[in-house]
């Protein structure tokens, strides 16, 4: 990294972060030195609203096998229509080619079945900003998904430490 144009405050932050990372370790012997990032090949997004669709598109474009889950067929069909509208708009604006639109259309699997996520490597929730809804969803996912699944949230206003 080129530090020529980085403020002293940022340099200090980076130095402190590196120092803290070097001290990180688990009781089982895991540490920053011997831990590896978990491979992610499959990803899912729960919630097909504006943010959920955008996340699913980004994951698919990044090469992940992507599943988008909605809670009922009506919402799933709305999501499907909105995705099609997004692809058409992006193609018209020159941001996507016809081939890219086709790859996205074929690359995002739409479903209402949470159980289809049992082998997913990464699951990101993008449901309504209600803590009870999110905690209940994560409780269900903990029963469905494999132990190594990484869970993420798209919350913008809730404290995820609760």
Please give the average per-residue pLDDT across 104-132, as a whole number.
94
53 Cα distance to chain centroid: 11
Query: How many angstroms separate the CA atoms of 83 and 48, rounded?
Result: 9
Decide if pLDDT at 26 tops 80: no
pLDDT digits (tens, 9 = 90+) for 40-99: 999 999 999 999 999 999 999 999 999 999 999 999 999 999 999 999 999 999 999 999
Question: Which is more confident, 43 or 16?
Answer: 43
Count of domains observed in the chain: 1
Q: What is the CATH number of the domain that holds 72?
A: 3.40.50.720
> How far lies 146's CA from each of 5, 11, 18, 117, 138, in Å?
44, 39, 31, 9, 13
Q: Is 46 helix (H, G, I), strand (E, B) or coil?
A: strand
Q: What average pLDDT does this structure show over 124-141?
A: 91
Distance CA 2, CA 62 (A): 27
Domain that holds residue 111: 42-153
Residue 23 belongs to a domain: no
Residue 135 CB neighbours (<10 A): 12
| 16 in a structural domain | no
Whole-number mean pLDDT of the chain?
90
The pLDDT value given to residue 98? 94
Q: Which helix (H) or strand (E) holds 5?
A: none
Q: Which residue has the higher pLDDT, 29 or 42?
A: 42
pLDDT band at residue 131, thresholds of 50, 70 and 90?
Answer: confident
Report field, pTM of the whole predicted structure over 0.85: no
Length of the chain: 162
Question: What does the pLDDT read at residue 159?
Answer: 72
Domain presence at residue 18: no
């Amino acid at each position: 990294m080129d530090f020529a144009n980085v403020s002293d405050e940022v340099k200090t932050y980076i130095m402190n972060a590196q120092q803290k990372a070097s001290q990180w370790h688990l009781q089982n012997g895991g540490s920053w030195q011997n831990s590896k990032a978990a491979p992610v090949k499959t990803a899912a997004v729960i919630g097909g609203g504006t943010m959920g669709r955008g996340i699913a598109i980004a994951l698919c474009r990044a090469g992940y096998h992507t599943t988008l889950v909605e809670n009922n067929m009506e919402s799933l069909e709305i999501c499907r229509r909105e995705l099609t509208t997004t692809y058409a708009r992006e193609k018209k604006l020159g941001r996507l080619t016809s081939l890219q639109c086709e790859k996205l259309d074929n690359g995002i699997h739409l479903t209402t079945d949470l159980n289809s996520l049992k082998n997913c490597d990464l699951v990101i929730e993008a449901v309504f900003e209600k803590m009870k809804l999110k905690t209940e969803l994560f409780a269900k996912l903990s029963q469905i998904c494999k132990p190594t699944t990484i869970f993420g949230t798209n919350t913008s206003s809730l404290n995820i430490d609760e």
